[in-house]
Structure 1
Amino acid sequence: MSNPSFISFSGVSKSYDGAQYVVDGLNLDVRKGEFLSLLGPSGSGKTTTLMMLAGFESPTHGEIRLDGRRLDDKPPHQRDIGMVFQNYALFPHLTIAENVAFPLSVRHVSRAEQKTRVKRALEMIELPHLANRRPAQLSGGQQQRVALARALVFEPSVVLMDEPLGALDKHLRETMQYEIMRLHRELSLTVVYVTHDQAEALTMSDRVAVFSDGRIQQVATPSELYENAQNAFVANFVGENNGLTGRVVNAGEDWATLALSDGSVIRGRCEPGLRAGDEAMLALRPERAHIPSAEGAHVDEHSNVVRARVEELVYCGDHHRVHLALGSRDSFVVKVPNTQRHALPSPGSTIEIAWRHDDCKILAMSVPRSAPTLHVSTPPSPSLITTAPAGAN
């Protein structure tokens, strides 16, 4: 087996009231050295999944294994897992060096070894000059780096991150994304990363598991998720999507034809199981559609063509967003690159929009299950995050 499972969830479910499941029948494998993101809206089960892996929550059913060893019956301090939270959870009364050293001290590592490892960890995050400062004297990005160093200093098998960049501004968040990616690559870390930010998950991950309503909807590489969503939820949640709805006219194993509300008939890729008469959604990314008249482009037999009314033009720097109305009920967006080659249509005009058959997908409409019980977990105290052995001071 070329990629054996390093972390394994087998039939894992979690209920807080015995009636509804926050996580329901989870089966998930993580490879050693992989960067896996758990992506989903609030209440979808991603953070509860992370907390069960860390040991701060216990599964109601199923089992979790790490490197073949059963994990779900072990306390947090016996799991060899580092944890990074959104709120940093640094000790305010300790220096940066003392914060980073804490996981080592509770593991009874010698002072000489602590000093060596802390120095190496602070150099890794490029903050050795701040070793004697207190957390309050650091910026948010610097505090997050320190939290990352503390999670890595005892060389854990796995590093878990729960929305670690959510409190940072856009520029700093992007900087920290590349910092985490660099450390993952250089240290060959196994990372399980929770986020609700689609762009963050697509940028950083080897694979992404998309959660909704306590279940995984799809696990795939970022490009596979974006280009080949398996259901309507994934298509709408990951990136921007023109989710036009209609009825399936005919369907095969790989291709289907959809009649839209305005009478237009389009062709696209599909998943097996779609049948004529089904209500379905067209998944089409705004950058895949184009305006042939503006580009002087030729539309061939492999393209879908619809007529739509221009409602609004929005300038976005490197591109324009053309907002259109298709019939009386459907809206549509096309991204037009901001180059001199593209002439923009006028608001109020009716134009043709085209896209290739293989650039869109026709997906069955998902039937939502009842919402799971939402449980807001309070992050453990810093002493728990370091997974100190019982009785440690």
Structure 2
Amino acid sequence: MPSQSFISFDGVSKSYDGVHSVVEGLDLDVARGEFVSLLGPSGSGKTTTLMMLAGFESPTRGEIRLNGKRLDDKPPHQRDIGMVFQNYALFPHMTIAENVAFPLSVRKISRSEQKARVARALDMVEMPHLAARRPAQLSGGQQQRVALARALVFEPSVVLMDEPLGALDKRLRESMQYEIMRLHRELSLTIVYVTHDQNEALTMSDRVAVFSDGRIQQAATPTELYENAANAFVANFVGENNGLTGRVAASAGEWATLRLADGTLIGGRAGTGLHEGGEAMLALRPERAHIATAANAAADAARGAGELNVVHALVQELVYCGDHHRVHLKLAHGESVVVKVPNTQHHDLPALGHTAAVTWRRDDCKVLPALSSRVAVTSGDDTAFSPSSSASPLIAGAN
């Protein structure tokens, strides 16, 4: 949590029917100048949270404060908040300069001041030469830059972005990510950013709040989320994860041991809430696992047997991905595992149809209580995952 709160959600809930909550008991603080992303699947409550902060929705319970002052009784145009939408929301009959000037005109800013601010805002997004054009004459990336300039032109305290890059192709999206990051850094902007794209959130944010079922599952830095997920949902949703399921054989202090369905024992860092005999999942990133070969056998031995996990699995598929190969394997009891093998001359690939030993360090994985119910963990639809399912436990976020 930030040391000094600039934006504060205190016990905020939102219900449309008085029975079911879209957002429930939300506590979140954002520091001045911080870039915080709200990440989650469709229907998780992230956009509703943003709309309550913007003033387009009202909380059913709780308080939202900006710089210590309650926002509940202020309409959107009085909240000193800029907004960038996915569909740009530009006026087609206005020039680019007129679109950018619109927030200033509704605030009764003088013509001369409007002209100066518009010029400055268009310079920020490197588009002063397009001021006389209309939105239909611009590309999608250019229109999004205009929308960003319009959100910044009246120098708001906070800029809110609701999946602003969702309509752009991959190249433009990556270019705009760096543009937004540059403006955040140079202008010391406070940004709250909604996305369902994990890579986007990890790349751009100071902190990420992961939503599911109207609640924040974990709010932390991108590194902390990826390396030290608080629960199985976060481990499965953020990035790519091999979720090996079983029952807790032992849990003491920092470490826990999981017994797989075939009796194999594997260990990792212990998450909270584990108890012996309970269902659990070992979260393992594909790049942290290795296919045992003669070349790395010596290195594995040097680490010590107690530091390594070993499972044997059948090689089912080899996928070439340019900078790495994806090796898909199946364990004897039916669960799948994926290993990313760097594409170098020093890495041998196993043969299809052969059994290979998959190894990884126990401090490179974490044992977490299993998901108690079917929870949507894919990015962009409502597909559900159950840890008891026979389907592959590799979830979401393929890189």
With normalisation by structure 2, the TM-score equals 0.91
1:385 corresponds in structure 2 to none
2:140 corresponds in structure 1 to 140
Cα deviations by residue, 1:164-192 (Å, 9 ceiling, x for unpaired): 00000000000000000000000000000
Q: Among residues 321, 328, 332, which one is paired with 1:323 in the alignment? A: 328
Displacement of 1:59 in angstroms is: 0.1
Cα deviations by residue, 1:96-120 (Å, 9 ceiling, x for unpaired): 0000000001111110010000001
1:65 corresponds in structure 2 to 65
2:155 corresponds in structure 1 to 155
1:347 aligns to 2:352 (yes or no)? yes
Displacement of 1:268 in angstroms is: 0.4
For 1:291 and 1:185, the matched residues in 2 are separated by 41
1:43 corresponds in structure 2 to 43
One-letter amino acid of the structure 2 residue matched with residue 351 of structure 1: A
For 2:41 and 2:317, the matched residues in 1 are separated by 29
One-letter amino acid of the structure 2 residue matched with residue 73 of structure 1: D
Cα deviations by residue, 1:23-73 (Å, 9 ceiling, x for unpaired): 000000001100000000000000000000000000000000000001122
One-letter amino acid of the structure 1 residue matched with residue 121 of structure 2: A
For 1:207 and 1:74, the matched residues in 2 are separated by 27
Give the superposed CA RMSD.
Answer: 1.3
Q: Secondary structure of the equivalent of 1:11?
A: strand
Q: Among residues 316, 332, 341, which one is paired with 1:336 in the alignment? A: 341
Q: Secondary structure of the equivalent of 2:6?
A: strand
Displacement of 1:196 in angstroms is: 0.1
2:365 corresponds in structure 1 to 360
Q: 5+ unaligned residues in a row in structure 1: which ranges?
A: 372-393
Displacement of 1:366 in angstroms is: 2.5
2:397 corresponds in structure 1 to none
For 1:110 and 1:253, the matched residues in 2 are separated by 65
TM alignment of 1:374-385, pairs within 5 A: none
One-letter amino acid of the structure 1 residue matched with residue 332 of structure 2: G
Q: Secondary structure of the equivalent of 2:242?
A: coil
1:199 aligns to 2:204 (yes or no)? no
Q: Secondary structure of the equivalent of 1:325?
A: strand
Aligned 8 A contact 2:2 2:30 in 1: no
Displacement of 1:86 in angstroms is: 0.1
Aligned 8 A contact 2:272 2:368 in 1: no
Displacement of 1:291 in angstroms is: 1.3
TM alignment of 1:119-134, pairs within 5 A: 119-134=119-134
Cα deviations by residue, 1:103-152 (Å, 9 ceiling, x for unpaired): 00111111001000000110110110100000000000000000000000
Displacement of 1:327 in angstroms is: 1.3
Cα deviations by residue, 1:350-390 (Å, 9 ceiling, x for unpaired): 1111100100000001224899xxxxxxxxxxxxxxxxxxx
One-letter amino acid of the structure 2 residue matched with residue 4 of structure 1: Q
1:310 aligns to 2:333 (yes or no)? no
Aligned 8 A contact 2:218 2:230 in 1: yes
Aligned 8 A contact 2:40 2:212 in 1: yes
One-letter amino acid of the structure 1 residue matched with residue 329 of structure 2: L
For 1:173 and 1:295, the matched residues in 2 are separated by 40
2:277 corresponds in structure 1 to 277
One-letter amino acid of the structure 2 residue matched with residue 125 of structure 1: V
Displacement of 1:329 in angstroms is: 1.5
Displacement of 1:248 in angstroms is: 0.3
1:79 corresponds in structure 2 to 79
For 2:2 and 2:283, the matched residues in 1 are separated by 34
One-letter amino acid of the structure 2 residue matched with residue 172 of structure 1: L
TM alignment of 1:211-226, pairs within 5 A: 211-226=211-226
One-letter amino acid of the structure 2 residue matched with residue 321 of structure 1: R
Q: Secondary structure of the equivalent of 2:290?
A: coil
For 2:272 and 2:189, the matched residues in 1 are separated by 37
Aligned 8 A contact 2:64 2:70 in 1: yes
Q: Secondary structure of the equivalent of 1:262?
A: coil
| Percent of aligned pairs with the same amino acid | 77
Aligned 8 A contact 2:2 2:29 in 1: no
For 1:146 and 1:297, the matched residues in 2 are separated by 56
One-letter amino acid of the structure 1 residue matched with residue 18 of structure 2: G
For 1:332 and 1:17, the matched residues in 2 are separated by 43
TM alignment of 1:85-104, pairs within 5 A: 85-104=85-104
Q: Secondary structure of the equivalent of 1:151?
A: helix
Q: Secondary structure of the equivalent of 1:12?
A: strand
Aligned 8 A contact 2:2 2:31 in 1: no
Equivalenced residues, count: 371
Q: Secondary structure of the equivalent of 1:342?
A: coil
Greater shift, 1-10 or 220-229, is seen at 1-10
1:109 corresponds in structure 2 to 109
For 2:84 and 2:51, the matched residues in 1 are separated by 12
Q: Secondary structure of the equivalent of 1:90?
A: coil
1:375 corresponds in structure 2 to none
Aligned 8 A contact 2:255 2:268 in 1: yes
For 1:253 and 1:272, the matched residues in 2 are separated by 10
One-letter amino acid of the structure 2 residue matched with residue 333 of structure 1: V
Displacement of 1:272 in angstroms is: 3.0
For 1:193 and 1:177, the matched residues in 2 are separated by 11
Greater shift, 279-288 or 245-254, is seen at 245-254
For 1:2 and 1:318, the matched residues in 2 are separated by 37
Aligned 8 A contact 1:253 1:273 in 2: no
